[in-house]
């Protein structure tokens, strides 16, 4: 049975700063907000055309371009700066890590 995909939304997960993969070592826990879900409801004529172009259109015109044929679920805004103390007792401030709003763009 096919799993029904949820639309693009903001989701959250508790992680330690170390688990963010940014190279910082800190056991402080942070709430990571990220965007996930389908954007099928947000397709425009552009996307239909691009899908068609990818299948046959570009080849006919002698092009090898690759385009993304649908809107993606991405952050449209990020949360404010976040500061934490690392395991060596130093403060760091990181930016643009956690999403604030999501959109199909």
Partner 1 sequence: MLPCCRPADVSVCDSELGPPGWREPLDCVRASELCNQNNQCSSRYRIMRQCLSGGDKERSAMLASRECQGALEVLQDSPLYDCRCKRNMKKELQCLQNYWSIHMGLTEGEEFYETSPYEPIHFSEEFRHASIISGRRMSPCSEAGKPCNPCLDAAKACNLNETCKRLRSAYNSICSKATPPQATSANQEPCSRKRCQKALRQFFERVSWELSYPLLFCSCPDQACAERRRRTIVPSCSHQERHKPSCLELRRTCRSDALCRSRLADFHMNCQMTPHSVTSCPHDNFHGCLMSYVGLIGSDVTPNYSDSSPSNISIGLWCSCRGTGAQEAECDTFHRDFTHNTCLSESTDAKEKPAEVTADRDLLQQQIAANANRILQRCINTPSFC
Residues that bind partner 1 (CB under 8 A): 14, 27-31, 80-85, 87, 89, 91, 93
Q: Which is nearer to partner 1, 40 or 101 (CB)?
A: 101
Q: Which is nearer to partner 1, 23 or 91 (CB)?
A: 91
Report the C-alpha gap between 19 and 48 in whole angstroms.
38
Q: Which is nearer to partner 1, 21 or 91 (CB)?
A: 91
Strand partners, 76: none
Taking the complex as a whole, how short is the minimal distance between the CB of residue 21 and partner 1, in angstroms? 18
Taking the complex as a whole, how short is the minimal distance between the CB of residue 20 and partner 1, in angstroms? 13
Taking the complex as a whole, how short is the minimal distance between the CB of residue 66 and partner 1, in angstroms? 40
CB-CB contact of 11 with 102 (8 Å): no
Q: Is the backbone of residue 21 left (phi > 0), alpha (psi -120 to 50) or beta?
A: left
Residue 46's H or E segment, with its range, is helix 45-52
Taking the complex as a whole, how short is the minimal distance between the CB of residue 84 and partner 1, in angstroms? 7
* Strand 73-78, strand 82-85: pairing: unpaired
């Amino acid at each position: 049975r096919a799993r029904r995909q949820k639309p693009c939304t903001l989701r959250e997960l508790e992680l330690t700063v170390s688990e963010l993969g940014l190279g910082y070592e800190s056991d402080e826990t942070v709430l990571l907000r990220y965007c996930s879900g389908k954007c099928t409801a947000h397709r425009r004529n552009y996307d239909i055309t691009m899908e068609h172009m990818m299948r046959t259109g570009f080849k006919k015109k002698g092009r090898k371009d690759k385009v993304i044929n649908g809107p993606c679920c991405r952050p449209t805004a990020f949360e404010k700066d976040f500061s934490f103390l690392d395991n060596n007792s130093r403060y760091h401030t990181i930016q643009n890590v956690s999403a604030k709003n999501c959109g199909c763009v």
